[in-house]
């Protein structure tokens, strides 16, 4: 049965019957593909089960607030692109980012998590303070080590 937005299904059905007689039943069965969703897509379910265009982002934000300290997530912004959660902002450590990705993926409706907009700010500062203790030779060696650490696969593992 074809439904319009005003909810007047009966008028449309009576028009079909008057125009085509017995074929109206067959035609009404074939127009069932035009009905609205009976279930809300999981990425569009809001906090209270209602339809919400940004429902997944709101549910992931709520999960972050429940599972992490407020200081850890205060600089983050969570948006969604369909069923993909997009995380933007700054975080103090890479293990925290990994845990957040796991929490986001555990949320119903999340298919993937995009972290291109996240900056991990703590790791470089700790390396700089530890490398200033030695002489010229040790500083050169530690600088090369830092460059290698920065470009290693460990820095990009999630």
DSSP string, 71-85: HHHTTEEEEEETTEE
SS3 19: helix
**pLDDT number for residue 129:** 53
Is residue 13 included in any domain, yes or no?
no
For residue 37, what are the contacts with CB-CB under 8 A and spacing of at least 6?
none
- State whether 107 and 129 are in the same domain: no
Whole-angstrom Cα Rg for the chain: 27
133 & 147 share domain: yes
Contact 68, 86 (CB under 8 A): no
Q: Is residue 51 part of a domain?
A: no
Q: Do 134 and 98 fall within a single domain? A: no
Q: Is residue 36 part of a domain?
A: no
Q: How far apart are CA 137 and CA 125, in angstroms?
A: 21
Q: Is residue 30 a part of any domain in this protein?
A: no
Neighbours of 104 (CB within 10 A): 25
Q: By residue range, what is the domain housing residue 107?
A: 57-118
**Domain presence at residue 45:** no
Looking at the structure, do residues 99 and 134 belong to the same domain, yes or no? Answer: no
Inside any domain, residue 17? no
Same domain, yes or no: 79 and 99: yes
Number of domains the chain is built from: 2
- In order along its 158 residues, the chain shows pLDDT tens digits of 334 344 444 444 455 455 555 544 444 454 455 556 689 999 999 999 999 999 999 999 999 999 999 999 999 999 999 999 999 999 999 999 999 999 999 999 999 999 999 999 865 555 555 545 444 433 333 333 333 444 433 444 44
Residue 21 lies in a domain: no
Q: Dihedrals φ, ψ of 87, to 5°? A: -105, 130
């Amino acid at each position: 049965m074809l439904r319009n937005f005003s909810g007047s299904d009966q008028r449309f059905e009576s028009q079909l019957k008057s125009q085509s007689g017995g074929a109206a039943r067959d035609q009404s069965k074939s127009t069932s593909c035009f009905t609205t969703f009976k279930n809300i897509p999981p990425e569009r379910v809001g906090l209270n089960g209602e339809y919400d265009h940004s429902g997944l982002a709101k549910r992931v934000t709520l999960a972050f607030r429940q599972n992490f300290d407020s200081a850890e997530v205060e600089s983050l912004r969570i948006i969604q692109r369909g069923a993909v959660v997009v995380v933007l902002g700054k975080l103090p450590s890479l293990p925290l980012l990994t845990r957040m990705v796991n929490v986001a993926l555990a949320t119903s409706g999340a298919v993937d998590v995009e972290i291109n907009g996240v900056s991990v700010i703590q790791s470089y500062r700790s390396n700089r303070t530890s490398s200033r203790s030695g002489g010229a030779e040790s500083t050169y060696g530690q600088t090369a080590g830092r460059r290698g650490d920065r470009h290693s696969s460990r820095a990009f593992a999630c």
